[in-house]
Amino acid sequence: MLFEGLELVSALATLAACLVSVTLLLAVSHQLWQLRWAATRDKSCKLPIPKGSMGFPLIGETGHWLLQGPGFQSSRREKYGNVFKTHLLGRPLIRVTGAENVRKILMGEHHLVSTEWPRSTRMLLGPNTVSNSIGDIHRNKRRVYSKIFSHEALESYLPKIQLVIQDTLRAWSSHPEAINVYQEAQKLTFRMAIRVLLGFSIPEEELGHLFEVYQKFVENVFSLPVDLPFSGYRRGIQARQTLQKGLEKAIREKLQCTQGKDYSDALDILIQSSKEHGKEMTMQELKDGTLELIFAAYATTASASTSLIMQLLKHPAVLEKLREELRAQGVLHSGCPCEGALHLDTLSGLHYLDCVIKEVMRLFTPVSGGYRTVLQTFELDGFQIPKGWSVMYSIRDTHDTAPVFKDVNVFDPDRFSQARSEDKDGRFHYLPFGGGVRTCLGKHLAKLFLKVLAVELASTSRFELATRTFPRITLVPILHPVDGLSVKFFGLDSNQNKILPETEAMLSATV
């Protein structure tokens, strides 16, 4: 009995010693990790590195970022200020908030900073993309791609975008149960990118499979760049390979079949524009380019579309005011695809609609910010930003803290009206599409899509929340409802008082 007691005491002592050793090892490694990055400060600059924590060895604060969501940035900003250091996705990072701080980052492109997404994002998007290019290569690519989003190009896309949205809303209205708006918005924007932007004639079954693969790709674009079996990064690589095979097949079929088209899609314009600039694109460049176009049109637009629908549900007075404007401008129609065709000039004359879209993008910016790498040490807000570090400028936090916006947490489209114009005092207080030489090329297409969606929602649908409360929002990796947004749709006539006959027939067929 005595020996058994001694053995138990010995075992407990050994366990305690192991726990103490592990704790000490973690504490020492944590401290060495902090010192490792403190040693990277530029000795020729007397200013300190920004305050903050580098988290744990190798993983940094990536775990905190993923788990805390919106609370990560706000809690550290409250503790350390508008400029603080952290370590995310394998890189030392300085996060920046505030119009003047962001202005210096965005206007410092090519001499203070250069674009650099996390390694996982760079590798998965591909080397031939606009987002991954720098210097003269970036400027040349922007010139080539700019024609895709010209006024003439948008005018040619508009009828096709309107038809895709009308078909989608009819399908939503015909569904006997509530739909998950965020999931369906992703399918809508993916279909728009494939059918309208790229002009691919992919069979529905194959398109559905491609969408599933693309979702896996997007889910792992912002992952730890660790290429191990079952890692998110490996899943992203595998999804990219599958996507590229499908895209190459679609591109080759498209290049061989040029008859019967009634408009030039983005891929047509891209191929022609590259030839005009003296460089015909290789198949790999075309695959990377199409993948980037889908990426640009997919996740952020689906996020903004979901936010738009949620705000129209939350604020019925905004929806009614929007309908009043549509009636006054003769835009409100019955929903028949052959009636109520929209034009860019018509949409540009809808001022309240523009205010609604701007307010959605202010309060619910899909992406939190953009990445840069520091080319030379410079001063920002009293700190040194060391050469070689990454910088992330925060769009959403800059909107949230901008002094020009009154009642910043209130959804108020009239803040952008001509009478108030709260965004007129300073360009960098409001930047949902970034700024400087890397302003989002597709911003006009994104706003066009959202405006058409808003017009069709106001014109042809009644919709109501199918749950007792609105869902919680997460910001990682892109703003979206945590459990989706469950909404029931009903098709209406132009008087907004009854279900359309064709919708009623579809409802009867599905019951």
Q: What is the pLDDT along the chain (511 residues), one digit of tens a residue?
A: 555 566 666 777 777 777 877 777 767 766 778 888 888 889 999 999 999 999 988 888 988 887 887 788 889 999 999 999 999 878 889 999 999 999 999 999 989 999 877 788 888 998 888 988 888 888 888 988 899 999 999 999 999 999 999 999 999 999 999 999 999 999 999 999 999 999 998 899 999 999 999 999 999 988 888 899 989 999 999 999 999 999 999 999 888 876 666 778 999 988 888 888 778 889 999 999 999 999 988 999 999 999 999 999 999 999 999 999 999 998 875 544 435 579 999 999 999 999 999 999 999 999 989 889 999 999 999 999 999 999 999 999 999 999 999 999 999 999 999 999 998 877 899 999 999 889 999 999 999 999 999 999 999 889 999 999 999 998 877 899 998 899 999 976 444 434 444 433 433 333 2
Contact 37, 58 (CB under 8 A): no
Question: Annotated binding residues for heme, as ranges?
Answer: 440
β 378-380/369-374 pair status: unpaired
Instruction: Report the C-alpha gap between 304 and 192 in whole angstroms.
Output: 15
> Is the sign of the CA dihedral 450, 453, 455, 457 positive or negative?
negative
Contact 89, 61 (CB under 8 A): no
User: How many other C-beta atoms lie within 10 A of the C-beta of residue 223?
Assistant: 22
- Report the pLDDT value the prediction gives residue 173, as an integer from 0 to 100: 95
Amino acid at 389: W
Instruction: Report the C-alpha gap between 107 and 127 in whole angstroms.
Output: 24
Q: What single DSSP character describes residue 297?
A: H
Please give the angle made by the CA atoms of 501, 506 and 511, to the nearest 5 degrees: 125
C-alpha dist (Å) from residue 38 to 21, 47, 91, 383: 26, 13, 14, 13
Which distant-in-sequence residues (6+ apart) come within 8 Å of 89 by Cβ? 60, 62, 118, 119, 120, 222, 223, 224, 225
Question: Annotated binding residues, as ranges?
Answer: 440
* DSSP reduced 3-state for 225: coil
What does the DSSP assignment read for 18-41? HHHHHHHHHHHHHHHHHHHHHTTS
- Report the pLDDT value the prediction gives residue 477, as an integer from 0 to 100: 77
Q: Identify the CA nearest to 277 among candidates 134, 147, 157, 135.
A: 147
Report phi then psi at 301, rounded to 5. Answer: -70, -35
Which distant-in-sequence residues (6+ apart) come within 8 Å of 102 by Cβ? 96, 393, 394, 395, 398, 428, 431, 435
Please give the angle made by the CA atoms of 221, 222 and 223, to the nearest 5 degrees: 100
- The tokens for 163 are 């038809």
- The tokens for 59 are 């993983």
Q: What single DSSP character describes residue 377?
A: -
Give the HSE-up count for residue 370: Cα atoms under 13 Å, Cβ half-sphere: 22
User: How many other C-beta atoms lie within 10 A of the C-beta of residue 166?
Assistant: 18
Instruction: Report the C-alpha gap between 377 and 388 in whole angstroms.
Output: 8
Report phi then psi at 359, rounded to 5. Answer: -70, -35
User: How many other C-beta atoms lie within 10 A of the C-beta of residue 206?
Assistant: 13
Instruction: Report the C-alpha gap between 419 and 399 in whole angstroms.
Output: 20
Q: Which pTM does this prediction carry?
A: 0.87
Amino acid at 152: E
Instruction: Report the C-alpha gap between 489 and 303 in whole angstroms.
Output: 19
* DSSP reduced 3-state for 92: strand
Instruction: Report the C-alpha gap between 314 and 323 in whole angstroms.
Output: 16
- Buried/exposed 353-392: b ≥16 CB within 10 Å, e otherwise: bbbbbbbbbbbbbbbbbbbbbbbebbebbebbbbeebbbb
What does the DSSP assignment read for 382-400? TEEE-TT-EEEEEHHHHHH
* DSSP reduced 3-state for 370: strand
Ordered structural domains, the chain, with CATH:
135-510 (1.10.630.10)
**β-sheet bridge partners, residue 372:** 115, 391
How do residues 350-393 score in pLDDT, each as one tens digit? 999 999 999 999 999 999 898 899 999 999 999 999 999 999 99
The length of the chain, given as a count of residues: 511
- The tokens for 300 are 């952020």
E-state strands within 128-183: 179-180
Contact 179, 487 (CB under 8 A): yes
